[in-house]
Amino acid sequence: MNAPNLYRTLLARTAVALAICVTLVVVCYFFVDKPMAFFVYRHGIAQTPTMKWFTEPPPLVQGWSPLLVAIVLAAWAWQTPRHWQRTLVVACISLIVADQCRQSLGDVCGRYWPETWHDNNPSLIGTGAYGFHPFETGDDIGSFPSGHASRIAGFAGVFWIAYPRRRWLCLFVAVPMAVSLIAMNYHFVGDVIAGSFLGAIVAAYAATLAGLGNRQAAFLAPGSAGG
């Protein structure tokens, strides 16, 4: 498939994904988000240490991503880039871009958080605040979409495309972390869904640009080398 056709196909799939995402978010907003947040709060699920641990890797990986990318790129001066190395570099970049996109959308959407975490921020549990306030910026209304979910899907999504036979491992790693965001009441269900879709879309474009899923479209793949 030539490049224009490849990207037209990708754009069409993106439109379908966005339509599905919006539908799921709307359903969650009216029927799922509030009941789930109150359920988690009443049952003290957020007090489970394991759940909190699962939320920690995404920002940690993001913090180390620039150094990982620099090390791998430097290694390419002495060796032919291997498939796993290119995948790691693209996954790190995808994670960073996904989180930046999430920050922009967070300012556009302006959604209150499920619980009050800092500076007495308005929240459903803490103050009864619920809903979207478009184009109002600030950490107190940045729940949607989930940054953690965007990072998770942005990173794992690249490996999902690059290693089709290892997709079970992507699910094994990513799903518990995504669920923990809801279990800790860090995000509403709709936030996590939207963040996951966002990260997956960014990963799809990043992997396509690097030619990880289709070597014929490897615009950024030096020599299209595998390993």
pLDDT confidence tier of residue 1, bands split at 50, 70 and 90: low
125's enclosing H/E stretch is: helix 124-127
| pLDDT exceeds 50 at position 223 | no
- 207, 93 in Cβ contact below 8 A? no
**Burial bucket for residue 117 (CB in 10 Å: 0-12, 13-18, 19+):** middle
Distance CA 110, CA 135 (A): 6
Which 3 state secondary structure label does DSSP give 76?
Answer: coil
Residues 71-82 have a mean pLDDT of 91
User: What is the model's pLDDT at position 62?
Assistant: 95
- The two structure tokens encoding residue 65: 């991503």
Residue in 224, 223, 216 with CA at minimum distance from that of residue 3 = 216
Q: Calculate the average pLDDT of the chain.
A: 89
Q: What angle do CA 84, 85, 90 make, to 5 degrees?
A: 95
Task: Please write the tens of the pLDDT for every residue from 101-146.
Answer: 999 999 899 999 999 877 788 899 999 999 998 887 776 788 999 9
- 161, 212 in Cβ contact below 8 A? yes
Which 3 state secondary structure label does DSSP give 113?
Answer: strand
CB atoms within 10 A of CB 104: 9
5 or 207, higher pLDDT: 207
> What is the DSSP code string of 23-42?
HHHHHIIIIIHHHHHHHHHH
Which 3 state secondary structure label does DSSP give 157?
Answer: helix
Residue 182 CB-half CA count within 13 A: 21
- Structural domains of the chain, count: 1
pTM comes to 0.90
15-34 exposure pattern, b = at least 16 Cβ within 10 A, e = fewer: eeeeeebeebbeebbeebbb
Distance CA 128, CA 149 (A): 24
User: What is the model's pLDDT at position 220?
Assistant: 39
pLDDT confidence tier of residue 48, bands split at 50, 70 and 90: confident
- What letter does residue 227 receive in the DSSP assignment? -
Instruction: Domain of residue 143: give its range.
Output: 3-224
User: What is the model's pLDDT at position 224?
Assistant: 38
| pLDDT exceeds 70 at position 82 | yes
- 58, 151 in Cβ contact below 8 A? yes
User: What is the model's pLDDT at position 50?
Assistant: 86
Task: Please write the tens of the pLDDT for every residue from 172-200.
Answer: 999 999 999 999 999 999 999 999 999 99
CATH number of the domain that residue 115 is part of: 1.20.144
